[in-house]
Amino acid sequence: MSPDSMNGTAGTSQFNEPLRGCPLSSLIWDASLLRNSEDYVAAYNTSTPVSSVDIFLSHAWSDSGWWKQAALLTCCSSAMPYKVMVTSSIVAAWLCWYISYDLYRLLVLLIGIFSFIGSTITLSLFKHRNTTVFLDKCCINQSDFAAKKRGISRLSDYLRVSNKLVVLWTPSYLDRLWCVYELAVFMRTHDKKDVIILNLRHVKLCLWLMVIKLLDIVSFYAFQAYFGRQFHPSGYGSWICIVTSILVGHQAFGCFEDWIIFSSKLNSFSVSDAKCTSPDDYTKLKDLITELYGSEDHFAARVRGLCLNSADEKPAPLWLLSRDSLRICSVAYTVYLLSLVVLLYRYSTFTKERQLQQRKYLP
């Protein structure tokens, strides 16, 4: 958040105006709400008065709105879309096994992929239609300067009544004093487990892997159908492995590099390193953090213990092997394998039935 100015008593509730929250489903559906801080009126109309907030969304407007939307969608989804994909793929393969082999493979693959994407969006919108979120653009009247100042002065109230703090993290997150202030106020009244950090680069890596694997399989089908018997899978496989390794390796390296930066910034975090566009706000925010924790060093120690502890520090981020990540990355290959398994089963069953019929009519 980057307000023009800040009320001198920020963090205290001086007004009887109700707090506001917008549905999480609105943020999932409309990427423009996260893309930039403009279009104030339409965004503010998505929020309604609330007594508590499920999620306080902490982020930077300079980051990509599309990837922030994708991060929220993947974070809020469950295993159900994956189950829908598996079920729809098996049903499609069972019903379409008799058509031409090339069309069968492509049809089952597309049905499986689109059922996963469609169910992910649909189920998330339905599940989180009543989940309330604080997003400054939606919950603070940005078009009225006086109302904006009052809304900013109640940030601490929003943070205290929020159940979770979701951080859409990028390497520059801890460099922004407003983001640090939000973290400070929330951690003062909540447990460490209530802070959820979503690495946007990791979300990008997972979706990138899913798309690359899908393109691998589709291009394999296309080349095989076009060249027929002249197609050599081994030669194609070698080239596709090289290209995939380069593309995926680049994203994976960037993702791991972000983790190194994340760990380094947490270990060396200091409030003094954070920046703010307004010198007046900079002084006030630092004073408020000191007032909350007694000293900047005490708060910095809390932040350093947020995700990394000396006793359980890990050399790599655990979310690289999380269930959500593996589900997203394996979507294309799961559909591909299911189509083969069902086809082999139906074909073997059909062959056995024909053999039995032939034996029945033998003299």
Residue 64, burial from CB neighbour count under 10 angstroms (0-12, 13-18, 19+): middle
List, in sequence order, every residue forming a beta bridge with 49; answer none if it has no partner.
20
- What is the rounded CA–CA span in Å between residue 263 and residue 303? 11
What's the pLDDT at 3? 40
pLDDT at 60: 81
Cα(53)–Cα(135) distance, integer angstroms: 11
Closest alpha carbon to 11 in 303, 284, 298, 297: 284
Per-residue pLDDT of the chain (363 residues; tens, 9 = 90+): 444 444 433 444 445 678 999 999 988 888 788 877 666 678 888 899 999 999 999 988 877 788 888 888 887 877 889 899 999 999 988 888 778 777 888 888 889 999 999 999 998 889 888 999 999 889 988 888 888 888 888 999 999 999 999 998 888 888 889 999 999 999 999 988 899 888 888 888 888 888 888 888 888 777 777 776 666 666 666 666 667 667 666 677 777 777 788 778 878 888 888 888 888 888 999 999 999 998 988 888 888 877 544 344 444 444 555 677 778 888 888 888 888 888 888 778 767 666 666 665 555
What 309-318 contacts at long range (C-beta under 8 Å, 24+ apart), as own/partner pairs, is 313/263, 316/256, 316/259, 317/199, 317/202, 317/256, 317/259
Q: In 3-state terms, what secondary structure has residue 167? A: strand
Half-sphere exposure of 157 (CA within 13 A, CB side): 22
Closest Cα partner for 288 from 192, 163, 188? Answer: 188
How much is the pTM? 0.79
Q: Domain boundaries in the chain?
A: 20-320
The half-sphere exposure of 362 on its side-chain side, counting CA atoms within 13 A, is 6
